[in-house]
Amino acid sequence: MFDSRPKLAVSVTQTGECYPCSPDESLLRGMLRLGRKGIPVGCVNGGCGVCKVRVLSGTVRRLGPISRAHVSLDEEAQGYTLACRAAPASAVQLQVCARLAKPFSRAGTTVSAPFASTPTKET
Ligand code: FES
């Protein structure tokens, strides 16, 4: 069945992959369309924490409560959330975290290291 809902672009920083996500669906549901094996889908109601992400740019809309055991208020202020409980409100760039990072770090993917530094020689 064809899904005609408008989509926003969500990109995963670690791999550079981008997937379309509707403003009324969760970041996790859209991410599953990447077809990547091993993306953990747990409780899908903000309770287990396996889908933790950090929103680096763009805005998201909260779809429901999230467990404070997995995302503290301080972390939330830094952009962390749970992908099953957030929908894109604009184009989003995110970083996959915790258990969700594992399937994105397997061989065969392009992993960028934007913050890697080159050692400098002291004189
Ligand atoms: S799947 Fe359990 S918190 Fe998202």
Asked if 50 contacts 42 with a C-beta cutoff of 8 angstroms, the reply is yes
51 lines ligand 1 (CB under 6 A): yes
Closest residue by Cα to atom 3, ligand 1, is 46
Q: Which atom number of ligand 1 is nearest to the Cα of residue 46? A: 3
Ligand 1 center to 61 CA (angstroms) = 16
Asked if 94 contacts 18 with a C-beta cutoff of 8 angstroms, the reply is no
Residues 92-115: pLDDT tens digits?
Answer: 999 999 889 999 886 544 443 333
Residues 50-98: pLDDT tens digits?
Answer: 999 999 999 999 999 999 999 999 999 999 999 999 999 999 999 999 8
pLDDT at residue number 87: 98
Q: What is the pTM of this model?
A: 0.83
- Alpha-carbon torsion, ordered 90, 95, 100, 105, to 10 deg: 130
Which among 44, 76, 80 is the best mutation to test ligand 1's pocket, defined by most ligand atoms within 8 Å of the CB? 44
Which among 32, 53, 82, 96 is the best mutation to test ligand 1's pocket, defined by most ligand atoms within 8 Å of the CB? 82
Coil, strand or helix at 77: helix
Distance CA 85, CA 47 (A): 10
